[in-house]
Structure 1
Amino acid sequence: MPDLTTPDPTPRTVTGPLPAATAAAVRDLATAAAAHDGVPPLSEQPLLWLTGGGPDVVHLLVSDPGAGALAGYAQVDLRDPARATAEVVVAPAARRRGTGTALLAAALGAARDRGGDAVDVWAHGDVAPARALAAARGLPVVRELWQMALDPLTAPDPGAAPLPDGVTVRAFEPGRDEDAWVAVNARAFAQHPEQGRLTRADLEARKAEPWFDPAGFLLAEEAGALLGFGWTKVAEPGEGEIYALGVDPAAQGRRLGPALTARMLAHLAARGVPRVVLYTEGDNAPAVRVYRAAGFDRSALDMVYRLS
């Protein structure tokens, strides 16, 4: 969230996919902000929704006529207006002019138009301007997302985290496993406001990304039934990611989390990446224990503030 204090004209509102040129302008804005702040202002889902969002995705755009570019952008996820979320970015040269304030007000207005009464706003990197803005407006912290890192990566001993009897692990097969994965993911992350709501279309969008590799998307099965999954990602040179780790609630307590984590790390080590990161909720104590046991330490922090 940018640190801005003065009023600004109402942002332009677009619902659904953006035109290609507008989406490119948003990406350019995000790139400039990341270079200035040292942390990307928009996460993966908002970037995918620039051109792939449906009627419940609202884009808010503020132009800078003098620069011929965007001064600010916000995206509001209104799939569930009672749990609306937003991500905001303001051009470094356009800060402290009220652009961020206008975007936040418009995001809250968009939620209210759909019957909501609050918006959870992401502040990636827990940067000082976001903390100052939140403090000035009395916005409470409602979530902490931890980035954890394992650096350097060493291949784990496969015998240290054995699979339960009767359970096997294989790679995801496109065209075969999509529906089963969506169902298990929804159950595993039923309380998660983003991951648990992923649809078949969201999965297809990720499969279309250049980084998608089914060999690093591991499925744990028993008698043909999907119990859990461990999904890896290598999108940046020299860095791998444990992208998602989920276990069906009916299979929890069988140590599938550590077993899948070990196999994901072994896969990433075979890919030759020296460092692995992951993201997890700060209050998810079981997940934090699994990752700490695998050697991960907290390396960065994203905050969510509630605007109401």
Structure 2
Amino acid sequence: MVTIERFDPAGADLGGYHAVLVASQAADRPEEPPLPLAEVAGRLAKPLPGMGPAAHWVARRGDDVVAFAGVHFLDAENSGIGLTDVVVHPGIRRSGIGTALLRAVLPELRARGRKSVEGWQVVAGSDGERWAEARGFRRVRTIERLALVVDETDPACWDVPVPPGYRLRRWAGAAPEDVLGSYAVARGAIHDAPLGDSGFRWPEWTAERVRAAEAEARAQGLVQHLVVAVHEETGTVAGLTEVCVHPRRPDWGYQRDTAVVAAHRGRGLGRCVKADMVRWLLAERPGLRWISTNTGAENTHMIRVNREVGFVTQAAMIAVRQELSRLV
């Protein structure tokens, strides 16, 4: 018999939860190194910046965890979305456990005023996609999951000159005050990146929101590395790229936003800042072995830039969505 219950990561034995995650990843994304237990525990205790508060459920067969569900209650522009992940051990899929977990989650979504449910971690062609389709979810976006594997990449990929009229600037942590305003504007250039039919909306970046995001990252232990391209004539930030590293996993970098202000596109700034980022990270963190990123499949320009600096596609992912009122 399977039972479903709320799950408190702070007071729980995470071994069973971690075992389900590792088995699922091995079945669906075998090309990726598995997440260590310490990293899983850390993410459950403190969700990554921008993810909002979270709630968790597990399904048990006897004393064994066989599946779990988690919801991140996004905020600000995305406060109507419940970002939901349902994971079932590969050995017992297609037995109704995932659907039972989804039913358990729905009352909490309603109680928190969510209007839609989205899932962003579904591997294309997997059991998860077939399950989501059968539950009435529709595909709203296709995502390429890429990785730069340091030992398998030709360092010549990172030998990229700075375009004339620009200079590069780096920092870890808080943005310097003298570029804070233009840096916030440049972050807003990500709004041009397509999102398909997802209900998600990019943040509206201001100087105050930048400082709040930096504080949240510090509280989580994340180290933000920024490389920006500064326009020499105006002294403003024209493009940027960000990679975060956590002490729990010093061998892994998490590529976050890369954006170039519209007036400065077509000059190779995206490739330039990303290449410089890799050089900087490897000089500062010689143990770094892997940098991961997700890019919308329709964003062909950024996929090309990623590949030019050594990223290769690891998996095709999809985002799915359904209105909460239509989930029964």
Rate the CA distance shift 1:55–1:173 in 2: closer, same or farther, 3 A. Answer: closer
Show the counterpart of 1:59: 55
Show the counterpart of 2:228: 219
Show the counterpart of 2:19: 32
Rate the CA distance shift 1:304–1:158 in 2: closer, same or farther, 3 A. Answer: closer
Equivalent in 70, 76, 83 of residue 72 of structure 2: 76
Equivalent in 278, 291, 303 of residue 293 of structure 2: 278
After superposition, the C-alpha distances for 1:221-254 in whole angstroms (9 at most, x for unaligned) are: 2344333222234565765554432223454344
Show the counterpart of 1:156: 156
Show the counterpart of 2:309: 294
Letter paired with 2:227: L
Does 2:184 correspond to 1:183? yes
Distance in structure 2 (CA, Å) of the matches to 1:98 and 1:182: 48
Distance in structure 1 (CA, Å) of the matches to 2:93 and 2:134: 16
Show the counterpart of 1:130: 128
Equivalent in 232, 246, 266 of residue 259 of structure 2: 246
SS at match of 2:303: helix
Letter paired with 2:19: A
Show the counterpart of 2:326: none
Distance in structure 1 (CA, Å) of the matches to 2:273 and 2:305: 10
Letter paired with 1:120: E
Equivalent pair of 1:78/1:111 in contact (CA under 8 Å): no
Equivalent pair of 1:48/1:205 in contact (CA under 8 Å): no
Length-normalised TM-score, structure 2: 0.68
Equivalent in 3, 10, 14 of residue 20 of structure 1: 10
Rate the CA distance shift 1:254–1:28 in 2: closer, same or farther, 3 A. Answer: farther
Deviation at residue 188 of structure 1 after TM alignment: 2.5
Q: Which runs of 5+ in 2 are unaligned?
A: 324-328
After superposition, the C-alpha distances for 1:89-142 in whole angstroms (9 at most, x for unaligned) are: 346687556442133234444444455442112334447320231233342211
After superposition, the C-alpha distances for 1:58-84 in whole angstroms (9 at most, x for unaligned) are: 414246383176852311324234443
Equivalent pair of 1:189/1:196 in contact (CA under 8 Å): no
Deviation at residue 31 of structure 1 after TM alignment: 2.1
Rate the CA distance shift 1:49–1:149 in 2: closer, same or farther, 3 A. Answer: closer
Deviation at residue 306 of structure 1 after TM alignment: 1.6
Equivalent pair of 1:60/1:103 in contact (CA under 8 Å): no
Does 2:259 correspond to 1:260? no
User: Please, what is the CA RMSD of the aligned residues?
Assistant: 4.2
Rate the CA distance shift 1:34–1:114 in 2: closer, same or farther, 3 A. Answer: closer
Equivalent pair of 2:159/2:275 in contact (CA under 8 Å): no
SS at match of 2:203: helix
Letter paired with 1:57: P
- Number of aligned residue pairs: give it: 290
Distance in structure 2 (CA, Å) of the matches to 1:265 and 1:135: 38
Distance in structure 1 (CA, Å) of the matches to 2:113 and 2:221: 38
SS at match of 1:144: strand
Letter paired with 1:136: A
SS at match of 1:135: helix
Does 2:165 correspond to 1:169? no
Show the counterpart of 1:3: none
Spell out the pairing of 1:79-158 with structure 2 (5 A cutoff): 79=75, 80-90=78-88, 98-126=96-124, 128-151=126-149, 152-156=152-156
Distance in structure 1 (CA, Å) of the matches to 2:182 and 2:140: 29
Rate the CA distance shift 1:47–1:126 in 2: closer, same or farther, 3 A. Answer: farther
Letter paired with 1:35: V
SS at match of 2:130: helix
Length-normalised TM-score, structure 1: 0.71
Bigger mean CA offset, 196-205 vs 277-286: 196-205
Equivalent pair of 1:59/1:74 in contact (CA under 8 Å): yes
Bigger mean CA offset, 54-63 vs 44-53: 44-53
Equivalent pair of 1:20/1:51 in contact (CA under 8 Å): no
Bigger mean CA offset, 70-79 vs 258-267: 70-79
Deviation at residue 48 of structure 1 after TM alignment: 4.3
